[in-house]
Amino acid sequence: MRICYLGRRSARSNPEPEGTDDVLELLWDNWNDYGYETSFTITCRIGGQLVELGIIRLLIANHYKARLELDRLRESGWDGTFPAPGIDYISVPSEITFYQQLKVHLDGQTTIQIAHALRDASVLVRDLDPVALYLVETEGFKQSLQRERGNVAAYLDGWKVLDNQVIAVQNFEFRFQDVFRATSTLALNFASDSLLPHEINVLIGPNGTGKSRVLHQMVETWIAPQDGELGFAEPPNVSQLVVVSYSPFEHFPVDMEGVIVQDKGAYRYFGFRGRSDEYTDGALERPILLSHDYPKINAAQSLISCLADDQRYKAITDWAKKISTMERVLLTAFEFDFAAVEIEPNARVESLYSNFDEVSEPTDLNFDGHRYIPIASHTMNHAVVSHLLNACIAKSGLIFFKNSKPIELSSGQRLFAYIVVNLLGVIRRNSLVLIDEPELFLHPTLEIQFIKMLKQILASFNSKALLASHSEVIVREVPADCVHVFARTENGLAITHPPFQTFGGDIQRISSYVFGDNSVSKPYEKWLEQKFEEFGSAEALIEAMDDNLNEELLVQIKAMEGNGRW
Residue, of 442 and 50, whose pLDDT is higher = 50
The pLDDT of 14-24, averaged and rounded, is 90
* Alpha carbons within 13 A on the beta-carbon side of 352: 24
Say which DSSP state 318 is in.
T
pLDDT tens sequence across 525-561: 788 888 888 888 888 888 888 777 777 778 778 777 7
pLDDT tens sequence across 71-100: 999 999 999 999 999 999 999 999 988 998
Report d(CA 285, CA 257) in Å as an integer. 8
Nearest to 243 by CA among 251, 231, 234, 252: 252
Place 360 in a pLDDT band, splitting at 50, 70 and 90. Answer: low
Residue ranges per domain, the chain? Answer: 2-162, 168-287+428-504, 292-425, 523-563
Place 563 in a pLDDT band, splitting at 50, 70 and 90. Answer: low
What percent of the chain is modeled with pLDDT above 90? 51
Q: For residue 146, is it left (φ>0), alpha (ψ between -120 and 50) or beta? A: alpha
Contact 206, 232 (CB under 8 A): no
Place 566 in a pLDDT band, splitting at 50, 70 and 90. Answer: very low
Tell me which range, 116-120, 161-165, 167-171, 311-315, is most confidently predicted by mean pLDDT.
Answer: 116-120
- 60, 61, 71 from 140: Cα distances, Å: 9, 9, 19
Report d(CA 26, CA 113) in Å as an integer. 16
The pLDDT of 499-516, averaged and rounded, is 88
Residues in the chain: 566
Three-state DSSP state, 176:
strand
Q: What is the mean pLDDT of the chain?
A: 88
CA end-to-end distance (rounded Å), the chain: 79
pLDDT of residue 495: 94
Report d(CA 392, CA 300) in Å as an integer. 8
Report d(CA 514, CA 156) in Å as an integer. 36
Give the range among 125-129, 470-474, 522-526 with minimum mean pLDDT: 522-526
Q: How many CB atoms lie within 10 A of CB 365?
A: 20
| Residues in Cβ contact with 165 at an 8 Å cutoff, skipping those fewer than 6 apart | none
| Residues in Cβ contact with 110 at an 8 Å cutoff, skipping those fewer than 6 apart | 1, 102
Nearest to 89 by CA among 10, 148, 26: 26
Side chain identity, residue 477: E
The pLDDT of 236-260, averaged and rounded, is 88
Place 294 in a pLDDT band, splitting at 50, 70 and 90. Answer: very high
Contact 237, 156 (CB under 8 A): yes
pLDDT tens sequence across 143-188: 999 989 889 989 998 898 888 877 778 899 999 999 999 999 999 9
CATH class of 168-287+428-504: alpha beta
The pLDDT of 490-494, averaged and rounded, is 91
Residue, of 134 and 385, whose pLDDT is higher = 134
Nearest to 33 by CA among 120, 131, 151: 151
Give the range among 49-63, 128-142, 434-448, 513-527 with minimum mean pLDDT: 513-527
What percent of the chain is modeled with pLDDT above 70? 97
Report d(CA 317, CA 328) in Å as an integer. 19
Q: How many CB atoms lie within 10 A of CB 270?
A: 27
- Is the preceding peptide bond at 15 cis, omega within 30 degrees of 0? no
Residue, of 272 and 522, whose pLDDT is higher = 272
Contact 338, 363 (CB under 8 A): no
| Residues in Cβ contact with 203 at an 8 Å cutoff, skipping those fewer than 6 apart | 186, 211, 214, 215, 466, 467, 468, 469, 484, 486
Cross-strand pairs, 353: 383
Report d(CA 510, CA 417) in Å as an integer. 29
pLDDT of residue 519: 45
Contact 277, 471 (CB under 8 A): no
pLDDT of residue 173: 94
The pLDDT of 207-230, averaged and rounded, is 90
Q: Is the dihedral of CA 204, 205, 208, 210 positive or negative?
A: negative
Place 393 in a pLDDT band, splitting at 50, 70 and 90. Answer: very high
Say which DSSP state 522 is in.
-
Residue, of 51 and 249, whose pLDDT is higher = 51
Residue, of 69 and 555, whose pLDDT is higher = 69
Place 359 in a pLDDT band, splitting at 50, 70 and 90. Answer: low
